[in-house]
């Protein structure tokens, strides 16, 4: 995988919409501007917590090869990677098995926990749902490996097909917000908004879209929020998908707030999102694996507990998983 992608300047070409201005994607109503000055200010003023080099974790789990039509089984692998299994279908969200994430394999944030499932123990993978092109969500080393070993369908945002084809993966199914594709006779995936942005290099800011996915099974929804700040989109998604059995919501990568609030939930925001989505159950994701921002590695779990108390949400309704945690939902 070439690091030359960091110089990419061209992106999606298509009609203007409420979230595409003809060149770049935009988040309607979002005041966030990720200007170079703001990045520089963050770099110069950072008060970065010290993360452990490695943390203990439970043993890795071996998932079932196949799960029938009576259940949905969700295994938290790490970061934003989840294995979702039902109706004989095995789906991965934003798969990351690499040691480090970034444009080159020897630099970039290094993982402090092992994936909850060994790569070799994965069941046959039928589909990848990719939320946006940040390196911690589209890890090309992992995607190329999965493509070679499993030949899955790959659903990704508008604008990510060309560079992924150049990187060796043809046939990306690019999706706009609210577009739905069938994954099987019983299951569909709808690409839904998130409040975020995209870039892999120096010149490609917002040239491709970002978002979240609603996986719809028998009138019930399993919702993968991708990367997102807190915004009105959660309520809109709940209107379209009124029965969310489980929502996978980011709870990490949120300090400092002046810079992160429009692009990353903090745990307080995550509880508000859980309520706006009217999710029966939520699972915290996007924490405790790679140090991306300034909060302590164990802060998301602590602060989520406080936020659940603050909003009187039962702790059992919003899980903080460890790599390898398995959640089973009866259909
Ligand atoms: Zn991101
Ligand atoms: Zn991320």
Q: Is the pTM of this model over 0.85?
A: yes
Contact 267, 234 (CB under 8 A): no
Element (H, E) at 221: strand 220-224
SS (H, E, C) 130-180: CCCCCCCCCCHHHHHHHHHHHCCEEEEECCCHHHHHHCCCCCCEEECCCCE
Domain extent listing, the chain: 67-330
Q: Which residues pair with 72 in a beta bridge?
A: 329
Q: How far is the CA of 63 from the centre of ligand 1 (A)?
A: 27
Three-class SS state of 14: coil
What pLDDT does 1 receive? 46
What pLDDT does 9 receive? 78
Q: How far is the CA of 69 from the centre of ligand 2 (A)?
A: 31
Q: How far is the CA of 209 from the centre of ligand 2 (A)?
A: 14
Three-class SS state of 299: helix
Residues 294, 51: Cα–Cα separation, whole Å: 10
Cis peptide before 256 (omega within 30 of 0): yes
Return averaged pLDDT per consecutive 10 residues of the chain, 331 residues in all: 71 93 88 74 87 91 98 98 98 98 87 97 98 97 98 98 95 98 97 95 92 97 97 97 98 93 96 98 98 95 98 98 98 96
CA 142 to chain CA centroid, nearest Å: 15
Q: How far is the CA of 66 from the centre of ligand 1 (A)?
A: 30
- Tokens coding 224: 């993968």
Unique residue bearing structure tokens 């499932």: 117
What residues does the ion ligand 1 have nearby, CB within 5 Å?
134, 227
| DSSP structure class, residue 58 | P
Q: How far is the CA of 197 from the centre of ligand 1 (A)?
A: 7
Q: How far is the CA of 239 from the centre of ligand 1 (A)?
A: 25
Query: What CATH number should be reported for the domain whose range is 67-330?
Result: 3.60.15.10
Nearest ligand to the CA of 132 is 1
Q: How far is the CA of 132 from the centre of ligand 1 (A)?
A: 7
Unique residue bearing structure tokens 């939930």: 265
Q: How far is the CA of 102 from the centre of ligand 2 (A)?
A: 12
């Amino acid at each position: 995988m070439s690091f030359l992608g960091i110089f990419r300047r061209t992106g999606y070409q298509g009609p203007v919409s409420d979230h595409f201005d003809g060149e770049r994607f935009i988040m309607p109503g979002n005041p966030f501007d990720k200007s170079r000055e703001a990045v520089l200010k963050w770099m110069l003023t950072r008060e970065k917590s010290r993360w452990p080099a490695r943390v203990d974790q439970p043993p890795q789990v071996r998932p079932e090869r196949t799960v029938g039509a009576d259940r949905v089984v969700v295994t938290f692998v790490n970061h934003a990677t989840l294995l979702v299994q039902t109706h004989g279908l095995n789906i991965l969200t934003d798969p990351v098995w690499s040691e480090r994430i970034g444009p080159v394999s020897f630099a970039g944030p290094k993982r402090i926990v092992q994936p909850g499932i060994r790569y070799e123990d994965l069941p046959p993978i039928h589909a990848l749902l990719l939320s946006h092109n940040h390196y911690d969500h589209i890890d090309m080393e992992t995607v190329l490996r999965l493509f070679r070993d499993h030949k899955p369908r790959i659903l990704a945002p508008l604008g990510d097909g060309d560079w992924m084809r150049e990187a060796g993966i043809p046939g990306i199914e690019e999706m706009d917000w609210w577009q739905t594709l069938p994954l099987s006779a019983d299951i569909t995936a709808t690409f839904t908004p998130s409040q975020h942005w995209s870039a892999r290099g120096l010149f490609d800011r917002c040239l491709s879209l970002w978002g979240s996915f609603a996986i719809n099974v028998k009138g019930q929804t399993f919702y993968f929020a991708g990367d997102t700040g807190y915004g009105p989109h959660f309520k809109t998604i709940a209107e379209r998908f009124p029965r969310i059995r489980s929502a996978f919501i980011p709870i990490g990568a949120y300090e400092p707030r002046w810079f992160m609030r429009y692009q990353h939930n903090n745990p307080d925001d995550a509880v508000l999102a859980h309520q706006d989505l009217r999710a029966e159950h939520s699972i915290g994701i996007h924490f405790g694996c790679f140090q991306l921002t300034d909060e302590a590695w164990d802060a998301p779990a602590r602060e989520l507990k406080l936020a659940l108390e603050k909003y009187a949400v039962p702790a059992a309704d919003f899980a903080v998983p460890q790599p390898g945690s398995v959640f089973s939902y009866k259909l």
